[in-house]
C-alpha cells in the first residue's frame, strides 16, 4: 500500500491553492505549509533590521542566516499554522501592509529563493504536509508523493480576487485586478529561476467551473487510489 505523505500543490495566483490546501490539510490532519510565508518572513526581518528590500545582496545574506520554521498552530487563535523566525512567532506580523509592499522584489531574488528553498525542503521532508506554492512539484519537492497543479482561466481568477477585494471593502475595478493578474502570470512563468509550470507528473485540475468541494473530492479520490494500489502516476487524470 502506498502512502501519500508529502503533497505539492502548485498553480498561478488566485487559482484557489490556499483554500483547497487548507481544506485538504484539515481533512488529512496534515500541516498546511504556504511557502509564501517564508518570503514574507524574510521581508519582515529585513524591515525590522533596517535593510532596504531593494538591496538584493543584503536581503540575500539575511535570508541565508535566519532559520524559519512552519509548524502546526501553537496558539488557539484561528491561525492555520505558526511561523517562527529564529524561534520568534511572526505569524501575524508577516501580514502587515509594509510586508505586502516589499515582498514582491524579495521573492524574486535568486539567492533568497535558493536559501528558502533549502528550508522549505527541510520542513517538507518531515512528511504529513500539504505544501502550497508555485514551484513545489518542479523545484522544491520534485519527489513529492502527489503533485497537483491547480489552474483556472485568468478571467475567473480575476473575478475571485475581485470578489475578495470587495468583501474587504476595497474599491478596485475588475479590469485592474485582471491586468494585475496577467502581469503576475507573465512574471511567474517567464522568470529565469523556478518558472511557474506544472510538473510533468502532476495531476492537472482546471477549477474554472468547479467548487472547492469538487476540487477537494478529486484530490481525495486520487489519494485513495494511490494508497490502495501504491501507484505513483497520475496517468489519465490530467
- All three cell numbers of 123, joined, read 520542513
**pLDDT mean by block of 10 residues, the chain; 238 residues:** 85 92 96 94 97 97 96 92 96 90 88 95 94 93 96 95 87 89 83 85 96 96 88 44
Write down the pLDDT at residue 169.
86
Write down the pLDDT at residue 234.
44
Q: Which of 61, 32, 37, 67 is nearest to 49 (CA)?
A: 61
| CATH homologous superfamily of 1-15+134-238 | P-loop containing nucleotide triphosphate hydrolases (3.40.50.300)
* Euclidean distance between CA atoms 141 and 24, whole angstroms: 18
Bridge-based pairing of strands 6-10 and 129-133 is parallel
- Could you tell me the residue ranges of all domains in the chain? 1-15+134-238, 31-126
* Euclidean distance between CA atoms 209 and 88, whole angstroms: 41
Helix H or strand E segment including 30: none
Write down the pLDDT at residue 229.
79
Helix H or strand E segment including 136: none
Write down the pLDDT at residue 74.
94
pLDDT tens by residue, 36-46: 999 999 999 99
- What CATH number does domain 31-126 carry, 3.30.830.10, 1.20.1070.10, 3.40.630.30, 3.40.50.300? 3.40.50.300
Distance of CA 175 to the CA centre of its chain: 25
Amino acid at each position: 500500500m502506498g502512502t501519500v505523505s508529502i503533497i505539492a500543490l502548485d498553480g498561478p495566483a488566485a487559482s484557489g491553492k490556499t483554500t483547497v490546501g487548507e481544506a485538504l490539510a484539515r481533512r488529512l490532519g496534515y500541516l498546511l505549509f504556504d511557502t509564501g510565508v517564508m518570503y514574507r518572513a524574510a521581508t519582515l526581518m529585513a524591515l525590522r533590521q533596517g535593510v532596504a528590500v531593494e538591496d538584493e545582496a543584503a536581503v540575500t545574506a539575511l535570508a541565508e542566516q535566519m532559520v524559519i520554521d512552519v509548524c502546526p498552530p501553537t496558539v488557539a487563535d484561528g491561525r492555520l499554522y505558526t511561523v517562527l523566525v529564529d524561534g520568534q512567532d511572526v505569524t501575524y506580523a508577516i501580514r502587515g501592509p509594509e510586508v505586502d509592499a516589499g515582498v514582491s522584489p524579495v521573492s524574486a531574488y535568486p539567492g533568497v529563493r535558493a536559501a528558502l528553498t533549502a528550508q522549505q525542503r527541510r520542513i517538507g521532508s518531515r512528511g504529513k504536509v500539504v505544501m502550497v506554492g508555485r514551484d513545489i512539484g518542479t523545484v522544491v519537492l520534485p519527489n513529492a508523493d502527489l503533485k497537483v497543479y491547480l489552474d483556472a482561466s485568468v478571467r475567473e481568477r480575476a473575478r475571485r480576487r475581485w470578489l475578495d477585494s470587495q468583501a474587504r471593502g476595497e474599491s478596485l475595478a475588475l479590469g485592474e485586478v485582471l491586468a494585475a493578474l496577467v502581469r503576475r502570470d507573465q512574471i511567474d512563468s517567464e522568470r529565469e529561476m523556478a518558472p511557474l509550470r506544472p510538473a510533468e507528473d502532476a495531476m492537472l485540475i482546471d477549477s474554472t467551473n468547479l467548487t472547492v468541494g469538487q476540487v477537494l473530492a478529486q484530490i481525495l479520490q486520487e489519494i485513495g487510489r494511490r494508497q490502495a494500489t501504491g501507484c505513483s502516476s497520475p496517468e489519465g487524470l490530467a
